[in-house]
Structure 1
Amino acid sequence: MNVLDKTNILNTIANKQAELRSTHKKLSLPLINRLYKKMARGIKFDAIKVCDSLIIDGHHRYISSLLADVDLETLKSPKTSATIAYDWTEVDFVAEDWDTEDDILHWNHLDAQSNILALEELLELTR
């Protein structure tokens, strides 16, 4: 995928007939893009937590998995205060990166470790 924007995301959601619904009104495009690149290159991620069809934890992973055509496991989760469902067309996909450089390095270390890769291998895969 060349351009990652709201139009591409909504087209993917529609084409894949996404069953899970958002409980977040805003999501970060740079975060989705990082996860998408990793998933598209075979990096594995934790399951998404859901209650009924609502995503409780894992919105960015869910969207990234749809874009990368990767199946992620879902785990049942108890309801939380995040129970307002938003249609994906109502979600703001913002250009703001919610992770700092230190956060990104931390997540890269964890992703490399959980996928039994050296950090350098993970970084090479995601360039």
Structure 2
Amino acid sequence: MTIAYWCVLAAALMPLIWTGAAKTSKPGYNNKRPREFLASLEGYGARANAAQLNSFEAFPLFAAGVIIAHQIGVMDQTLIDTLAMAFISLRLLFGILYLVNWHWLRSLAWTAAASCCIAFFVLSA
């Protein structure tokens, strides 16, 4: 299995990091009604929940890009792996920047990570 495929697994599991941060951000987490609890969060917890949701949103484009790049076979494997690792690094940075509320840098990290996904498609064309 390639590094890029391992990165797909990492991206699929990444929301767990941010949901863990959200669920531990204030006392009273109730696993019987997790969505109610998450909806009640403010500040750091709400940002952690937003990072979780955004991670779920970013996953399909990334996974599709990696799979298509592999299937088309136009790109060098090293480039595919490098783009995948860059995506994971940028998405981790994105989540951290979300938690500390540095919105301008967070937007730059989001844009750079999205650019990695787009690169899979453009370079595979």
Normalised by the size of structure 2, how large is the TM-score?
0.26
Normalized per residue, the structure richer in strand is 1
**Structure label with greater radius of gyration:** 2
Normalised by the size of structure 1, how large is the TM-score?
0.25
Normalized per residue, the structure richer in helix is 2
